[in-house]
Amino acid sequence: MEHLETKNRVGLIVVLTGNGKGKTSSALGMVLRAVGHKLRVCIIQFMKGDLYCGEIDGVKWLAPLVEFHQTGKGFCGIQGNQIPYHEHRVNAQCAIELARDKIRSGLFEIVILDEINNALKLGLVDLPQVLELLDAKPPSLHLVLTGRDAHPEVCARAQTVTEMVEVKHAYRDGIEAQQGIDY
């Protein structure tokens, strides 16, 4: 099987947003593809953290090419999360610092900021902070931002924006979240 090589590597800003399922799953698909090319990836989860998801252990199998950081305390204000807002904001601010360090480190070809769009919408991080991360991106680094409600200014700076649209979801029919599919 022939391997194609990109002649002129251009680091993209990719936004995965919308109300449909699959934003993080799409980003994790990119991780799997990147590892197949021996690219180094850093994943920083801004919101998740109070519930177990299979990707937590799944990405461990991809080390040392994948570095994973779960910085959040869960989804702020939903799914029974009782953590005070200010604690969510403190954690998100730490995630911004971590993201800044990883983006500038030169150690990765891809950095994924999982659920950063939600964190921005909820005011856990501020628009100038997110735009600063986009501006700090080295020319060859791919930066992936996931989560609902992506800010228009973030989308305007991205080269690729995909909006996931829910057409139908098992949850609406009373079917609980399924291991390996939903978490």
Q: How confident is the model at residue 99 (pLDDT cuts 50, 70, 90)?
A: very high
Q: How many domains does the chain have?
A: 1
Candidates 78, 81, 28; CA nearest to 50 is 81
Q: Quote the radius of gyration of the chain (alpha carbons, Å).
A: 16
Between CA 3 and CA 22 the distance in angstroms is 28
Between CA 84 and CA 51 the distance in angstroms is 17
Q: Check which CATH number belongs to the domain holding 86 and give it.
A: 3.40.50.300
The pLDDT of residue 142: 98
Written as one string, the DSSP assignment of 101-158 is HHHHSS--SEEEEETHHHHHHTTSS-HHHHHHHHHH--TT-EEEEESSS--HHHHHH-
- Torsions phi, psi for 129 (to 5 deg): -65, -45
64 within domain boundaries: yes
**Tens of pLDDT along 26-54?**
999 999 999 999 999 999 999 866 566 77
Is it the case that residue 100 has pLDDT exceeding 60? yes
138 within domain boundaries: yes
The pLDDT of residue 104: 97
Mean pLDDT of the chain: 90
Q: Tell me the two tokens of residue 87.
A: 């604690």
Is it the case that residue 79 has pLDDT exceeding 70? no
The pLDDT of residue 71: 86
45 within domain boundaries: yes
178 within domain boundaries: no
- Give the count of beta carbons closer than 10 Å to the beta carbon of residue 155: 16
158 within domain boundaries: yes
% pLDDT > 90, the chain: 69
The pLDDT of residue 84: 81
What would you measure as the largest C-alpha separation in the chain, in angstroms?
Answer: 53
Q: How confident is the model at residue 179 (pLDDT cuts 50, 70, 90)?
A: confident
Tell me the residue length of the chain.
183
Q: What is the pTM of this model?
A: 0.90
6 within domain boundaries: no
**Tens of pLDDT along 138-175?**
999 999 999 999 999 999 999 999 999 999 988 888 89
Q: What angle do CA 154, 103, 47 make, to 5 degrees?
A: 60
172 within domain boundaries: no
The pLDDT of residue 177: 83
Q: Tell me the two tokens of residue 99.
A: 């993201």
Report CA-CA distances (Å) from 174 to 73, 165, 180, 183: 26, 19, 18, 17
More confident of the two residues 129 and 57 = 129
Could you tell me if 13 and 140 are in contact, meaning their C-beta atoms sit under 8 angstroms apart? no
Q: Which domain holds residue 47?
A: 13-164
151 within domain boundaries: yes
More confident of the two residues 118 and 78 = 118
Between CA 183 and CA 4 the distance in angstroms is 33
Q: Tell me the two tokens of residue 100.
A: 């800044």
Give the mean model confidence (pLDDT) for residues 20-29.
Answer: 94
